[in-house]
A = this chain, B = another copy of it.
Amino acid sequence: MTEKEVLEFIMRRRSVRKFTGEPVPKEKLEVLLKAAMAAPSARNRQPWEFLVLTEREKIREVCTAHPYAKFGVDAGAVIIPLGKPAGNFYFFQDMAAAVENLLLAAANLGLGATWCGMDEKRQDAIHPLLGVPQDYWIFAVIPVGVPAEHPEPRTQYDPAKVHWQRFGQHL
């Protein structure tokens, strides 16, 4: 692929928080999950699992329990990556790589999505709603839907953040 095509694919991913309310076909959700599970992981442990919600009431319940996911009540689906972090230093990194794959796939299929992060407090609020075993960490809440807004692709490239050959040496 050309450099332009590659960057377009990557930069097409933007956070989308407005949805038409239309459903997302199960086949498309499976493409997103295939993309996610193609991510690299330390020692190829693939620590990820995914809970997929498409039922309106459950979507509403989970999105309103997260301080920054309320926009998700109109999403066609919510994908919740989760797994067991115990004894795995690379758990959060591996999960994040899978999520980034998922978001890139969504954007390039014409879907909108936003990665809503999960800290300890949000964990306590959302864990009980999902009936997930205690040893699982809910990594994110990701509303996915047909977009009703279309943010422009953009890089955030900043040459001041690139050191060449040694720390502090910029071009």
Contact = CB atoms under 8 A, between A and B. Distances in A.
A156 B33 contact: no
Contacts of A31: 3, 6-7
B38 A163 contact: no
Contact of A117 (B28, B93, B96, B105): B93
A88 to B, nearest CB: 11
Nearest to A5: B108
Given A6-B108, A93-B92, A162-B50, A132 B167 contact: yes
Given A46-B158, A93-B117, 13 more contacts: A3-B28, A7-B34, A9-B108, A11-B35, A33-B162, A34-B155, A34-B157, A40-B115, A46-B161, A53-B165, A92-B96, A93-B96, A101-B104
